[in-house]
Structure 1
Amino acid sequence: MSQKNFYRRRTLAARLTKLITQVAVGSAAASGVFLTASRRTGKSTFAREDLMPALEEAGAIVLYADLWKDLTTEPGAVIVETVREAIERDEKLMSRLAIAPGLEAVSVGRVNFNVNKIGLGKEVGLTKAFEALSDEAKKLIVLIIDETQHAITTNEGVAALFALKAARDELNSSKHYGLRIVCIGSNQNKLAMLRNSSDEAFFGATMVHLPMLDRDFIDWYHKELDLPYDLAPSDIFQLFEESGYRPELLSAAADGIRFDLPVDPESTLVRFAELVRAQAEELNANLKTVIHSLTPIQSAVICVMGAKGEGFAPFESSTMELYAKAIANAGIVTSEPRVEVLDVQLALIALQEKKLVWKTSRGVYSIEEQMIVDLLREDGLLDDLV
């Protein structure tokens, strides 16, 4: 299949576009709209290929910031750079900002404004930049932030979110044309941290669970497959459900069939099913290898985290007792039955480095993704820890 040949979810995009742009009386959508779905189930593709075009067709200016694209870049800087790039494309807007109070004048016939002046703590804050963009275009602005939860892992990222809140409040006043912020994430609990407390930037924002790709997708997928022998859509859908609704597993299996020259019609379905399940098992096997390589205290900490969920408090006395219980449950005999705070701190750092645990700038910990919890539970490592 061509990389440009995407399955279109236009009806879903149209519904979300209306929710985002046409805020009804009593709706919290103006505070922000949060979209969540499991990792690798197509939410980013949907955002880029369906939602963005639908919003633009509805007359909005759409900006897109992917905080997961380069994890070495400060998430706050990614957000700021997205705004800078949008402004840099409009010379008339650059002129407007260049002659703003307190800045140097524009040279005759040329724009003398440097977009590096835009940012957190810079001469032109995000609110002023959005105001200029809104007033120049006279259109609603929609900022889509993919994997938004990554922003709250750093102080600058948190500052960027509060700067966006200030810009949102100003642009949604009657003086401007509106700003909507759409936050996308693969972990509902992490996203919820941005909206569940009154001291968070997007308190009260609407949370929407993106529907999984369904049988209509499989019918489309079946038509687009170019395999030596046909497969029934019902068989493909069954494997799709079994493998967690992840399109990439089907694509990898399809490639396996294409390059398996001896395959015959009778064995195509069996071989395809083997390849899909092997892809799913390989994803889990990599995680299991990391989990099984943990030290006793690291294993105990992540198991207690998985068992406690959102109620995990790493250094409470009851939690410290659970660490010791987890170590005992694993059949490990230690000379020192007590677990010390320093041991837990070092274990949490190690788990973050292994990409198993995630931490906000406020010191709240969470397991990186639900699949890790599922694997721990399957292995019986969460038993008797609640």
Structure 2
Amino acid sequence: MSQKTFYRRRALAARLTKLITQEAVGSAVASGVFLTAPRRTGKSTFAREDLRPALEEAGALVLYADLWKDLTKEPGAVIVETVREAIGRDEKLISRLAIAPGLEAVSVGRVNFNVNKIGLGKEIGLTKAFEALSDETKKLIVLIIDETQHAITTDEGVAALFALKAARDELNSSKHYGLRIVCIGSNQSKLATLRNSSDEAFFGASMVQLPMLDKDFIDWYCKGLDLPHDLDPSDVFQLFQESGCRPDLLSAAADDIRFDFTVGPKAIVVRLAELVRAHAEALNANLRTVIHSLTPIQSAVIRVMGSKGEGFAPFESSTMELYAKAIANAGIATSEPKVEEPDVQLALMALQEKKLVWKTSRGVYAIEERLTVDVLRKDGLLDDLV
């Protein structure tokens, strides 16, 4: 695609590059760097088009694993394949690893695993692979993992993260050239599960909230729209903020205008606002359809999850009472019904299948997207559930 297709955030990329690659006393970046921003607000584009080139210009070898690209693939396998591809591009490395000895089973944090099963084959673990890559290239390696939270939904994904921790610790020793792991995600609470406890793979890693696209982006965007009538960037920026700072909503509305030959130049400004709001409402409408199609127990579970937030514990007695209260408040029962644990378990499984709920391999549940909580609250479905 043309360079003009992307809005460049070079200053932000340069600042993050300096922070990621630095070795300042007291810096926690060697433990990992977590970058978070809401979904569909441009964080992946920034990582690919700005951060990766900036890191490469700074002399780093950058590997990029997108766990969102193909959800049918095991997250741990995607990470391993990314390293395998980097190794496969260098014949010297392949020859070198072909004679590498196998590694033993190890214990890191709360997980016991055999690194040979997490690596590039029967006898090559991730640590050995990264060692060879580091020593051959003599460069700092930066592994960017997009939508990292998917890795902790499976046992293999968790094992891969702990294998990465082992590789990170080895490469950041004085023997090699360093390894930085940059984890990107759309949900800060999910990412935090990887760093908030001493028995997690990235305990103590830095958490960074990526700035949202700003007025400069809208100025650039309006100049490149090529519509029959110029738009006032101030008006468009207000609309952009109103719609959650999501560029795809602006683009969808602009395309609707381009292919509507009945819209006159003077009506474009008003029509753009109508279309952006319509597309935003359509997203909410689809979600509302799913929510209002839930069974009573499924509805009760997700409503209680929305009201409890990070404090949600699915099978505590107080939570079980709230499920019953939610069903009664919905007018489905004349009195608070008794809710059993198997009912809740089945409801949680169904909500996972509907992509409303997310679960880690340790059995921690959370609502998949913040938008779901916003819709529940706006529709009054969280009232009286405290």
The reply to whether TM is greater than 0.5 is yes
2:16 aligns with 16
Which residues of 2 match residues 24-103 of structure 1 at below 5 A? 24-101=24-101
State the 4+ residue runs in structure 1 displaced beyond 6 angstroms.
Answer: none
Most deviating of 17-26 and 48-57: 17-26
Distance in 2 (alpha carbons) for counterparts of 1:33 and 1:352 = 28
What's the % identity of the aligned pairs? 86
Note the residue ranges of structure 1 that are not aligned, 5 or more in a row. Answer: 104-115
Task: Output one character per residue of 1:2-52: Cα deviation in whole Å (capped at 9) or x when no partner.
Answer: 586200000000000011001311111110000000000000000000000
Most deviating of 91-100 and 149-158: 91-100
Equivalent pair of 2:348/2:357 in contact (CA under 8 Å): yes
Distance in 2 (alpha carbons) for counterparts of 1:244 and 1:27 = 33
2:321 aligns with 321
Equivalent pair of 1:118/1:129 in contact (CA under 8 Å): no
2:289 aligns with 289
Change (3 A) 1:102 1:120: closer
Deviation at 1:265, TM superposition (A): 2.5
Q: State the SS of the aligned residue for 1:23.
A: coil
The answer to whether structure 1 residue 150 and structure 2 residue 150 are counterparts is: yes
1:198 aligns with 198
Amino acid at match of 2:46: F
1:298 aligns with 298
Deviation at 1:267, TM superposition (A): 1.1
Q: CA RMSD in A?
A: 1.7
Q: State the SS of the aligned residue for 1:65.
A: strand
1:179 aligns with 179
Most deviating of 47-56 and 118-127: 118-127
Equivalent pair of 2:120/2:129 in contact (CA under 8 Å): no
Task: Output one character per residue of 1:110-161: Cα deviation in whole Å (capped at 9) or x when no partner.
Answer: xxxxxx9971773100000000000000000000000000000000000000
Which residues of 2 match residues 1-386 of structure 1 at below 5 A? 5-101=5-101, 119=119, 122-333=122-333, 337-386=337-386
Amino acid at match of 1:313: A
Distance in 2 (alpha carbons) for counterparts of 1:131 and 1:382 = 51
Q: State the SS of the aligned residue for 2:332.
A: coil
Distance in 2 (alpha carbons) for counterparts of 1:202 and 1:50 = 24
Deviation at 1:100, TM superposition (A): 2.5
Count of residue pairs the alignment pairs up: 374
Deviation at 1:223, TM superposition (A): 0.9
Distance in 1 (alpha carbons) for counterparts of 2:2 and 2:136 = 38
Amino acid at match of 1:193: T
Amino acid at match of 2:294: L
Q: State the SS of the aligned residue for 2:5.
A: coil
Amino acid at match of 2:239: L
Q: TM-score, normalised by structure 2?
A: 0.94
Equivalent pair of 2:102/2:124 in contact (CA under 8 Å): no
Equivalent pair of 1:120/1:160 in contact (CA under 8 Å): no
Distance in 2 (alpha carbons) for counterparts of 1:198 and 1:128 = 25
Q: TM-score, normalised by structure 1?
A: 0.94
Change (3 A) 1:118 1:381: closer
